[in-house]
């Protein structure tokens, strides 16, 4: 089952469960998905974008999560093969964790478009369908980040660089 956040042509947002993405496509194309508020069958997937924010010196650095966030989960991208850390001395474990965080951070920075201080506005536009969905990162103040979260826009922290963890 997949939960999609949907929005109708009047801008009502709501959530609905589907067996899978193809089931949603079929039902939406057939006009079987209705807005529970106004009954409109013209509904589209809302973009639950951004999902990473962390304390870096200048505030939150945030990015849009990958498309699986649309399914209602926040899963930070993880490098392959990091599910289980091998048994090791504490120092080695710490080293492995730092390497993993560093790799995750590098992947985020590589895979996302930096929109800088436009992040809150861009995230909201993507959420409302005014901008195309794409992975973005940028900066937001704590207040802006909270406002995005209150509006149902999921954001996540970009992990701090390992050097900043001391
Ligand atoms: Zn509606």
Tokens of 15: 């959530």
The full DSSP string for 31-86 is T----TTT--S-EEE----EEEEEEETTEEEEEEPPGGGGGT-------TT-SSPP
Cβ–Cβ < 8 Å for 74, 156: yes
What does the pLDDT look like over 51-67, one tens digit per residue?
544 444 443 434 443 33
> What are the domain boundaries of the chain?
2-45, 50-165
Kindly tell me if the per-residue pLDDT of 50 is higher than 90.
no
Ligand 1 centre to CA of 70 (Å) is: 20
Neighbours of ion ligand 1 (CB under 5 A): 8, 10, 12, 35, 37-38, 40
What does the pLDDT look like over 8-27, one tens digit per residue?
999 898 888 989 889 999 99
Ligand 1 centre to CA of 128 (Å) is: 14
Look at residue 16 and give its three-state secondary structure.
strand
What does the pLDDT look like over 126-153, one tens digit per residue?
888 888 888 888 888 778 888 888 888 8
Q: For residue 7, how many other CB atoms are within 10 A of its CB? A: 19
Ligand 1 centre to CA of 109 (Å) is: 37
State the pTM of this model.
Answer: 0.41
């Amino acid at each position: 089952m997949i939960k999609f956040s949907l929005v109708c042509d009047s801008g009502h947002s709501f959530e609905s469960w589907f067996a899978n993405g193809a089931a949603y496509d079929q039902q939406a194309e057939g006009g079987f998905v209705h807005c529970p508020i106004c009954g409109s069958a013209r509904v589209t997937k809302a973009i639950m974008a951004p999902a990473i924010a962390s304390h870096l010196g200048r505030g939150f650095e945030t990015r849009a999560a990958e498309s699986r966030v649309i399914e209602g989960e926040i899963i930070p991208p993880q490098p392959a093969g990091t599910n289980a850390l091998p048994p090791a001395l504490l120092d080695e474990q710490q080293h492995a964790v730092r390497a993993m965080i560093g790799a995750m951070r590098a992947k985020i920075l590589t895979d996302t478009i930096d929109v800088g201080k436009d992040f809150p506005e861009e995230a909201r536009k993507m959420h409302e369908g005014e901008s195309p969905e794409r992975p973005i990162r940028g900066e937001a103040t704590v207040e802006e980040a909270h406002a995005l979260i209150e509006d149902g826009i999921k954001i996540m922290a970009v992990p701090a660089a390992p050097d900043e963890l001391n």
